[in-house]
Amino acid sequence: MTKSAIIIGGGTAGMETASRLAHLGIEVNLIEKQSQLGGHLNSWDRLFPNRRDSKEVHEYLEHGMNDAIFLHLNAEIDILRHESERFIVKLKDGKELNSDALVIATGYEVFDAGKKEEYGYGIYDHVITSVEMEEIFRKYKQKNLFEGMASKRVGIIHCVGSRDEKAGNIYCSKLCCVTGVKQAIEIKELMPDAEVFCFYMDLRMFDRYFEEMYFEAQAKWGVQFIRGRLSEASENQDHTLLIKVEDTLTGLPLKMKVGLLILLVGFVPNPETRRLAAMLGLKEGDDRFLCPADEHTLTNSTTIPGVFIAGTVKGPAGIASTIADARATALQVADYLKVQK
């Protein structure tokens, strides 16, 4: 008899897990709440570190979708149950699905920048998030980024909503650093006369070619890095922003006017994950991301047999590691189904 799996979440992790499982001859039901697959990948213009078009990765993932995968778009889960080695999912439209295994790939949400009130997001005109910056890159590639702005200086703020107990997140989102450096370079590419400043606490250029991007930003594009966390931003009459930080490498407070302020918003767990986890009795960590069965050796399975986790439900991760993780999850699911009666 054909074994089956239900995958919740049709982003990068869900799509790749589905593709691999289908390839292994397992029947897959893929549930996605949006009207299209791709998740957060769809909101990127170009990807770090090589600045390739995100659409290329989307096309790759889309290519893995085939007839053995039953897609449920615009689908929301009403009830999730675990009954004698079967998983039963009731969708809000009344549809009922069941399977031998379950994969949770519900991903993350970006931090709500409005919670850092002192940064003025949602209050001042030219304070935007890194997600909105990607949208600007996608839509207005040829346009003057600074149209209607009184200053061509850009401030990029690292760690917005990350490493911040006041924001409720003490963990590092780890990919904002490289996103900031990528966007700094892209702004200089588009507008060579712009001045770009990154305000950081630590630069965590942990992955391959990340440090090289940081080097390129300094050597080729003259991007300046000031070590210090933004303490407050206020708007001037001409709609420029006055920002205050400590320049910790000189030990002096510093104030500066910028035309545009980009907030590098971090990862937060998708609240939907918490609801699903509660229905199953799955464990979440202090950071509210889901816990694997073992931190080193069983990172794709959970404490419940038949329930697997893929991608950013476990914490911040980039595209490459999410795809690799999804494949590992698919293999774990297949192994589980093989020995299951």
Partner 1 sequence: MKSFGYTISKDRQINFDANDFEITRLIDAVEPSIMLCMGCGSCTGTCSAGHFTEFNIRRIHTLIQRGEFDHLKQEIMKCMLCGKCQLVCPRGVNLRNLILSIHTALETFGI
Interface positions with partner 1 (CB under 8 A): 203, 214-215, 218-219, 222, 224-225, 227, 247, 249-257
Rounded to a whole number of angstroms, the minimum distance from the CB of residue 137 to partner 1 is: 25
Rounded CA gap, 327 and 102, in Å?
15
Q: Please say which residue, 44 or 200, places its beta carbon nearer to partner 1.
A: 200
CB of 125 to partner 1, least distance (A): 19
Q: In the complex, what is the shortest distance from the CB of residue 255 to partner 1, in angstroms, rounded to a whole number?
A: 6
Task: Give the angle subtended at the CA of 276 by the CAs of 162 and 279, to the nearest 5°.
Answer: 130
Of residues 36 and 250, the one with the C-beta less far from partner 1: 250
Q: Which is nearer to partner 1, 108 or 197 (CB)?
A: 197
**CB closer to partner 1, 86 vs 227:** 227
Closest contact distance (angstroms) between CB of 57 and partner 1 is 30
Helix segments in 6-94, DSSP class H: 12-23, 54-63
**Smallest distance from partner 1 to CB 144, Å:** 22
Parallel/antiparallel/unpaired status of strands 252-258 and 260-265? unpaired
Residue closer to partner 1 (CB basis): 217 or 307 = 217
Residue 233 burial (CB count, 10 A): 24
Report the nearest approach of partner 1 to the CB of residue 207 (Å).
Answer: 17
Whole-angstrom Cα distance, residue 299 to residue 291?
Answer: 8
256 versus 304: smaller Cβ distance to partner 1? 256
Cα(118)–Cα(307) distance, integer angstroms: 41
- Give CA–CA dist 228/157, Å, rounded: 9
Two structure tokens written together for 14: 């869900």
Q: Of 186 and 195, which has the nearer Cβ to partner 1? A: 195
Cα separation, 313 vs 135, in Å, equals 24
Task: State in angstroms the smallest separation of the CB of 215 from partner 1.
Answer: 7
**CB 20, CB 103: distance < 8 Å:** no
**E strands in the chain:** 4-8, 27-31, 46-47, 52-53, 69-72, 77-83, 86-91, 96-99, 101-104, 108-110, 127-129, 153-160, 195-200, 224-227, 232-235, 241-247, 252-258, 260-265, 267-269, 307-309
Nearer to partner 1, 74 or 236 (CB): 236
Helical (H) or strand (E) element with 213:
helix 210-219
Q: Which two tokens stand for residue 122?
A: 């949602």
Minimum distance from CB of 214 to partner 1 (Å)? Answer: 8
Distance CA 284, CA 227 (A): 33
